[in-house]
Every structure is written in C-alpha cells, then in structure tokens.
C-alpha cells in the first residue's frame, strides 16, 4: 500500500473540528500520516492541533502559519512542506469540518483496489442510491452551474472540481504547486489547469480520477458565503486568461 499523508487546513475551527472522529480514525489507520495546518487562527485552534500532534506524534504533524493566508495558500504551503520529507507516495487534503468523513479516504483506496496510480484522485459528490450525499439545493445547483462552466473551459469532463477531498502524486506536486494560486476558493480548478498545461490534455484526462463518495454532509459554519458564488464568473475569466494559451494542450 502506498504511503499517504493528509493535510487538514484549519482557520478558526475550534468549535467545528471533531477531535473524537479524528482520533478514532488515526488509531484505526496507523499507516496514514496527517499534517494539521493552523492558518493563523485567532481562536483556540492552535492549542487543539498542538495537543493532537503531541499525543500522536508518530502520525500527526503540525504546520503553523504566522498569519491567515487562506485555504489555497495554506494547502499549497503544506503540500510543498510535506513533499520535502520524501516519505509519501500521495499527499492529499480534506476539509476540517469533515463534511467528507475521514473514512472516505478508505473509500477512494477501495475504489482503486488499493493501487493508486493516477496523478490526481478526487472525491466526487454524486447523489445516488446507496450514498448519503446531503447538500442544500441552492448550493448543489450553483455547484452544478460552476462545474459545467469549469469543465467546459478546462476541456476535461470533471463532475465536481470543488469537492474538498483530493490526493495528488508526490512526483507532480512541485510542478503543480510551484506558484501561488490566483484564486482562493477555486484553486482546485487551477490545479487541474496546471496539470493540463504540464502533461497535456490527453494525459491529464487519462491520469486523473473522480471517485464517487459514499458520504458527504454539508456542515454549518462554512466560510464560503453566497457572495463568493457571485465572484465565480470573474474568477473563471481570470483563470481562463491565465492558463489557456500556455503550456501543452494536445
């Protein structure tokens, strides 16, 4: 089995971070490592993460950002930090509210029969029989509009680019995450653009994988507001201008 490290970016998550679920998963999955990122929190988040890192130091590390830099930069910094350890085959990230439970990491591995080979493997919130995918209707339909537009300008048939659970092969991390992202909430889409421009459209299509999640439940206290959706058209134009016309597209 490949060695995997999961990044959990946290900004003022003291009231939402489910320590019991995290501890239970860490104990049940000793082969996984975690990098907890305190993104300049002003609440008790740092103390909580520090305690977990001390208690489970063989599996859990802590990265403290001096000031709040936003999810995109926190994840990018942590990916580059973890890849320097040269221990892992894949480094991924998951949202701190565990909308996708940590157990969904095992869902992805089981879907791949334990053999992870793709460059990017992403969870996908596909509502279907036998799955527990709970989202507000407004967010679901806004998400579908965004996903359709993003897939169209990217020219890759991505169903759910914004799902907060992804794994990335370590040998591509330095290339994909070398530069800061130009957006904060759409950086996942930028990641796919970068991969496409690095390896070409055909290879990007063949070597990325979306895995239907068994469980995803929208949690309260999300830092994504409706006004962020109003910025989506502007950010899509910015992404299109930056990445289209650069790199390989064959």
Residue 161 lies in a domain: yes
**Residue-averaged pLDDT of the chain:** 91
Give the pLDDT mean for 181-188.
92
Backbone angles phi, psi at 102, to 5 degrees: -55, -30
Q: Residues near 145 by Cβ (< 8 Å), separated by ≥ 6? A: none
According to DSSP, the β-strands at 90-94 and 165-169 are antiparallel
Tens of pLDDT, residue by residue over 86-107, are 999 999 999 999 999 999 999 9
pTM: predicted TM-score of the whole model, two decimal places:
0.91
Residue 20 lies in a domain: yes
CA 159 to chain centre: 15
Tens of pLDDT, residue by residue over 38-59, are 999 999 999 999 999 999 999 9
pLDDT of residue 231: 79
Residue 176 lies in a domain: yes
Tens of pLDDT, residue by residue over 194-247, are 999 999 999 999 999 999 999 999 986 665 555 666 778 888 888 988 998 654
Q: If phi over 0 gives left and psi between -120 and 50 gives alpha, with beta otherwise, what is residue 67?
A: beta
Residue 249 lies in a domain: no
Which domain, by its residues, includes 13?
Answer: 4-243
Cα→Cα distances 106→20, 51, 135, 158, 193, Å: 18, 25, 22, 21, 27
pLDDT of residue 249: 44
According to DSSP, the β-strands at 120-124 and 165-169 are antiparallel
Domain count, the chain: 1
pLDDT of residue 222: 60
* CA-closest candidate to residue 51, choices 73, 28, 76, 23: 23
Counting Cα atoms < 13 Å in the Cβ hemisphere of 142 gives 16
Q: In the structure, what pLDDT confidence band is assigned to residue 248 with cuts at 50, 70 and 90?
A: very low
Contact 92, 127 (CB under 8 A): no
Residue 250 lies in a domain: no
pLDDT of residue 247: 42
Residue 44 belongs to domain with CATH number: 3.90.550.10
Residue 80 lies in a domain: yes
């Amino acid at each position: 089995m490949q060695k995997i490290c999961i990044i959990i970016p946290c900004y003022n998550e003291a009231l939402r971070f489910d320590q019991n679920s995290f501890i239970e998963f860490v104990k049940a999955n000793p082969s996984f490592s975690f990098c907890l990122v305190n993104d300049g929190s002003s609440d008790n988040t740092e103390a909580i993460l520090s305690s977990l890192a001390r208690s489970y130091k063989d599996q859990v590390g802590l990265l403290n950002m001096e000031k709040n830099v936003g999810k995109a930069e926190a994840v990018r910094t942590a990916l580059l930090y973890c890849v320097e350890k040269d221990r892992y085959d894949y480094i991924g990230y998951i949202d701190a509210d565990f909308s996708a439970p940590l157990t969904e990491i095992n869902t992805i591995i089981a879907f791949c029969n334990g053999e992870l080979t793709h460059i990017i493997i992403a969870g996908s919130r596909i509502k279907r029989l036998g799955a527990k995918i709970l989202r507000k209707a407004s967010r679901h339909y806004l998400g579908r509009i965004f996903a359709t537009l993003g897939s169209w300008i990217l020219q890759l048939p991505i169903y759910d680019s914004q799902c907060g659970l992804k794994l990335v092969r370590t040998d591509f991390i330095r290339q994909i995450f070398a530069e800061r992202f130009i957006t904060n909430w759409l950086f996942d889409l930028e990641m796919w653009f970068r991969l496409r421009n690095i390896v070409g459209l055909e290879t990007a299509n063949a070597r990325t994988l979306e895995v239907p999640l068994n469980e995803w439940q929208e949690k309260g206290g999300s830092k994504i507001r409706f006004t962020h959706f109003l910025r989506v058209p502007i950010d899509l134009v910015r992404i299109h201008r930056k990445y289209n016309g650069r790199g390989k597209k064959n």
